[in-house]
Amino acid sequence: MIPVFDLQRQYAMLKPELDAAVTGVLARGRFILGEEVAAFEQEFAAYCGVTQAVGVGSGTEALHLALAAAGIGPGDEVITVAHTAVATVAAIELTGAHPVLVDIDPVRYTLDPAQLTAALTPRTRAIIPVHLYGCPADLEPILTLARRHGLLVVEDCAQAHGACYQGRRVSGWGDMAAFSFYPTKNLGAYGDGGAVVTNDPQLAERVRLLRQYGWQERYVSHLKGLNSRLDELQAAILRVKLRHLDEWNTARRALAARYSERLAGSGLGLPVVPPDTEPVYHLYVVRHPHRDALQAHLQARGIGTLVHYPVPVHLQPAYADLGYGPGRLPATEAAAREVLSLPLYPELGWGELDTVCDAVEEFLQERRL
């Protein structure tokens, strides 16, 4: 079996470092908002090229708290995409604001800047571009429009740890950015975790207050906050892994290049690298009109795949009240029918990758016969 993810291999490679980090936390006996969280926040901010990072409980809560810290709430509208994890839209609704969904650029699979003007209303307060699959959204036109209209920009970087746009890492372009450290991310914890990063110390301080009941001093709430804290064990694990992130991203790019070389000319839709980006290939996503048959073919040969994402947010039952229906976001809906994520992680062997490509080519050849 070649799984789509394999976290055990990474742990085996880092076992001495990770075990020492966890043992250190257990020995010190402090588990919430201690020295490991503070150190990770400093190190991660430096990695992202920003001045502030605030560890929180998950990527969803990172988006929620970023919006809340900027005062987004009931009566406001936030523009984003439907081709994303449902967490993006859930975070908007957690503030009481209304999600407005626009279509994607079918090359990047990210928010199409050309769709923004038509989506603006007097209630629009923010835009969330999602750097999906590890490929940066086209930020320059998004930011130009946002500045013209006085809108907040929160980058959703849950799949883009270390990705670059025009030579700079994503997360420092907008007003704030939100990261997830879900275990399968390029930088993943061994449980839930997230962070908000920014260059604005006032916004960062509001996130710090909101993540712990609005406390400036213990048991005294100055804001109506919640409990969303990155714990010491996860921070210690993330500090170890952060030291390896660039190396892992380099490996992901090399594997992606090998996939693209092997599958070039096959008729399969392959990822395109826009000239202004340096993706980090959180996922290697291909397209085929008979996606489900391809997935079944690979599964029968012991190759794991996933679909990111099979049902766009606007077509999910829970979000029917947003008022969208089939056909409203055609590029999004086409992607949902056709995309498939092949196995990709830094520890994937070259022989395993070739086995995947052989099986894909076998399927495509059968279709041509």
Give domain limits for the chain: 7-242, 245-368
> Among residues 9, 30, 36, 61, which one has the least CA distance to residue 240?
36
CATH, domain 245-368, list 3.40.50.970, 3.40.50.10710, 3.90.1150.10, 3.30.200.20: 3.90.1150.10
How far is residue 257's CA from residue 251's CA, in Å, rounded to a whole number?
10
Separation CA 149–CA 364 (nearest Å): 48
Which tokens is 300 given?
């029968």
The residues facing 102 across adjacent strands are: 81
pLDDT (tens place) for every residue of the chain, 369 residues total: 999 999 999 999 999 999 999 999 999 999 999 999 999 999 999 999 999 999 999 999 999 999 999 999 999 999 999 999 999 999 999 999 999 999 999 999 999 999 999 999 999 999 999 999 999 999 999 999 999 999 999 999 999 999 999 999 999 999 999 999 999 999 999 999 999 999 999 999 999 999 999 999 999 999 999 999 999 999 999 999 999 999 999 999 999 999 999 999 999 999 999 999 999 999 999 999 999 999 999 999 999 999 999 999 999 999 999 999 999 999 999 999 999 999 999 999 999 999 999 999 999 998 885
Is the Cα torsion angle 39, 41, 42, 47 positive or negative in sign? positive
CATH 3.40.50.720 fits 7-242, yes or no: no
Quote the CA–CA distance of 138 and 166 in Å, as a whole number. Answer: 10
Nearest CA to 192 out of 66, 92, 309, 55 is that of: 55
CB 182 within 8 A of CB 176: no
